[in-house]
Amino acid sequence: MATFAVTGSASGMGAATAARLAAAGHTVIGVDLREAQVTADLGTAEGRAEAADAILRASGGTLDGVAAIAGVGPDMQDPAAVMSINYFGPVALLEALRPALERSGAGRAVVIGSNSASTVPLVDDALVDLSLSGDEQGARARAVEQQAAMPAEITQIVPSITAYASSKLAIARWVRRTAVTPEWARKGVTLNAIAPGAVLTPLMLGSTGKPEDLDADSFPTPMPLGVFGEPEDIAFWVDQFLKPEARYSTGSILYVDGGTDAAMRPDAYPTPMTL
């Protein structure tokens, strides 16, 4: 049996993933703000360091996999916190835990992104670039500026939509760039991301309201399958990426969104390389 660390383990996709792994007999080190083996705030540098240290102690310094699922949604009032939690949190934690994944001989890392990275037309390129450059303070300041420039009719509903979508695009690009570096790829440590769509989690419902009030056919984005996702739908694919057999997949972004991205951008991916 394997040892996995799962962030965001107290609710939603994280809880579903932790339950699935535990049911299979694996050791799960849950990380969250509450109700977890490791309680830490991944939105701060101190919290990330504390979480990494606690995970390493609990695992004995060797991990078979990490599922970085913790995150916040566009309904959060503070866009700076959205950037810190959604981008800088998982990046710092995965970088700190990479040596422990390498020690297992077949380490697996999975990050939760979002189809908002490609289906929300409010991504800020400068915010993405600041994130990828590692400038957390600059990204936080830019996120606040962008929120102030947003029309009130948008911020009243989703106050941090630009920060949310930008953080998810940045994490997807970080995964693509990082997975193929020698420190990860040549050490046998795979790194992939899952881009969920409309999944019935506390994160999504914070912006959309009660599940019984939602209708797939009248949802703001296309829902080709006509149903919303459940946390277990994401946990299934996290589990697949964490398996030893998933040795030939790295740098992938898997859309698990009921077909939303494909419906909105049918010809956008894949795109041919141009010379």
pLDDT digits (tens, 9 = 90+) for 152-164: 999 999 999 999 9
pLDDT digits (tens, 9 = 90+) for 226-274: 999 999 999 999 999 999 999 999 999 999 999 999 999 999 989 999 8
Per annotation, catalytic residue among 87, 164, 248, 255: 164
Say if 15 falls within a structural domain. Answer: yes
Helix (H), strand (E), coil (C) string for the chain: CCEEEEECCCCHHHHHHHHHHHHCCCEEEEEECCCCCEECCCCCHHHHHHHHHHHHHHHCCCCCEEEECCCCCCCCCCHHHHHHHHHHHHHHHHHHHHHHHHHHCCCEEEEECCCHHHHCCCCCHHHHHHHHCCCHHHHHHHHHHHHHCCCHHHHCCCCCHHHHHHHHHHHHHHHHHHHCCCCCHHHCCEEEEEEECCECCHHHHHHHCCHHHCCHHHCCCCCCCCCCECHHHHHHHHHHHHCCCCCCCCCCEEEECCCHHHHHCCCCCCCCCCC
Q: Please determine, for residue 205, whether its predicted confidence score (pLDDT) is greater than 80.
A: no
pLDDT of the residue at 207: 63
pLDDT digits (tens, 9 = 90+) for 91-138: 999 999 999 999 999 999 999 999 999 999 999 999 999 999 999 999
φ and ψ of 253, to 5 deg:
-120, 110
pLDDT of the residue at 27: 98
pLDDT band of residue 217 (cuts 50, 70, 90) is confident
Say if 193 falls within a structural domain. Answer: yes
Burial bucket for residue 219 (CB in 10 Å: 0-12, 13-18, 19+): middle
Q: How far apart are CA 95 and CA 20, in angstroms?
A: 25
Give residue 243's domain range. Answer: 3-260
Q: For residue 270, say if its preceding peptide bond is cis, omega within 30 degrees of 0.
A: yes
pLDDT of the residue at 227: 94
Say if 183 falls within a structural domain. Answer: yes
Mean pLDDT of 36-44: 98
pLDDT of the residue at 216: 83
Closest CA to 88 of 147, 195, 170, 194: 170
Say if 234 falls within a structural domain. Answer: yes
Q: Look at strands 65-68 and 3-7 and give their pairing.
A: parallel
**164 classed as catalytic:** yes
pTM for the whole thing?
Answer: 0.95
Q: How far apart are CA 162 and CA 128, in angstroms?
A: 10
Say if 249 falls within a structural domain. Answer: yes
Helix (H) or strand (E) holding 89: helix 89-104
The CATH code of the domain that includes 131 is: 3.40.50.720
pLDDT of the residue at 208: 66
pLDDT digits (tens, 9 = 90+) for 43-87: 999 999 999 999 999 999 999 999 999 999 999 999 999 999 999
pLDDT digits (tens, 9 = 90+) for 143-193: 999 999 999 999 999 999 999 999 999 999 999 999 999 999 999 999 999
Say if 74 falls within a structural domain. Answer: yes
Mean pLDDT of 185-204: 93
Say if 159 falls within a structural domain. Answer: yes
In sequence order, the 6+-apart residues with CB closer than 8 A to the CB of 232 are: 16, 20
Q: Please determine, for residue 213, whether its predicted confidence score (pLDDT) is greater than 80.
A: no
Closest CA to 257 of 234, 238, 236: 234
If one counts the domains in the chain, the total is 1
pLDDT of the residue at 173: 98
Cβ neighbour number for residue 208 with a 10 Å cutoff: 18
pLDDT band of residue 206 (cuts 50, 70, 90) is low
Q: Which two tokens stand for residue 95?
A: 């970088």
Cβ neighbour number for residue 217 with a 10 Å cutoff: 7
Say if 177 falls within a structural domain. Answer: yes
